[in-house]
Structure 1
Amino acid sequence: MKLPETFSNLIEEADNLKLYQKLIIQLNKDFLYANIDLDFEEDISPKSLKACLHEVVYRLIQEKFNDYLNLLYIIDVSEGKIKNLNGDDALSLSEEVSFLILQREWQKVWFKNRYSS
C-alpha cells in the first residue's frame, strides 16, 4: 500500500473506495480511546475535518502535551515521522501532525477493508 502524500489525495482515495465515513469512525474511536473529547460528525466535510483536526492537535500541543503524546501512541503514528518534523512553529507542526494522523487512520481503514472478508 502506498500512502497518499497529500490531504486531497487521501480524501479522493477514501471517497473513491467509499471509505470516508469509516475513516471518520476510526478517528472518533481512537480519540475516544485517548480520552479526548472530540466526536466528528460522520458527514463532516473534508475541509471541516482538516480544519477541526488541525485546531485540536494545535490545542493539544500548546495546552495538553501529555494528551497529545497519548493520542499519537493510541493512533500509532510513527515516532520516526514525528521526529523528522520541524517543531519550531507549533502551527505548521500541528498541521503536519494532523496529516500524519489522517494517514495512519487511513492505513488502518484501508487494511481492514482490504483484508476483512
Structure 2
Amino acid sequence: MSEVVTYLNDKLSDFNLLDAMRRQLEKDFYSATFIEVSFDGLTIEELVNQVHQEINRIVSTDVSKFSNLLYRVDVSEASVDALKGLPIDVYWEQITFLILKREWQKVWIRNTL
C-alpha cells in the first residue's frame, strides 16, 4: 500500500484536496453499489486503508458491484487485465491504486481547471 500512499501524498499535499477526494470516492462508490459509504480517514494512509477494505468487502459480497465500481470510476479494462498473474494481495493493492489514481485525476481536473 505504500506505493498508493506515496502517490497520493505527492499529489494531494500540493493542492489540499483530501476532502474533495473523499467526496468523489463516496459518490462513485454509492453510484456503483447503492450502499452509503463514508470515508473519514484523516490521513491519506487511513483513506487508502478504508478504500482497500471497502473494495474487499464489495468483492466478497457481490462481484457485479465491483465491476460496476470499476466502470463508474473509469478504470480501464486494459489496466486491470495487466494485473493478471500477480499474487492476490498485490493484485488487490494495485486495484486500490488504480481506483484512487483515477479518482485523484477527476478531483484534480475539477479543482484546477
TM-score, with structure 1 as normaliser:
0.82
CA contact (8 A) 2:24 2:107 kept: yes
Aligned to 1:97: 95
Aligned residues: 110
Structure 2 Cα separation of the partners of residues 108 and 71 of structure 1 = 15
1:50-77 superposed Cα distances (whole Å, 9 cap, x missing partner) = 1121122123223311010001111111
**Structure-2 change in CA distance of 1:93 and 1:60 (3 Å):** farther
Alignment of 1:8-19 (within 5 A): 8-19=6-17
Aligned to 1:61: 59
The structure that is helix-richer by fraction is 2
Structure 1 Cα separation of the partners of residues 85 and 56 of structure 2 = 12
CA contact (8 A) 1:19 1:109 kept: yes
Structure 1 Cα separation of the partners of residues 85 and 66 of structure 2 = 14
Q: Secondary structure at the match of 1:39?
A: coil
Q: What is the root-mean-square deviation of aligned Cα atoms in Å? A: 1.9
Please state if 1:71 is matched with 2:69: yes
What are structure 1's unaligned runs of at least 5 residues? Answer: none
Q: Alpha-carbon deviation of 1:88?
A: 5.4
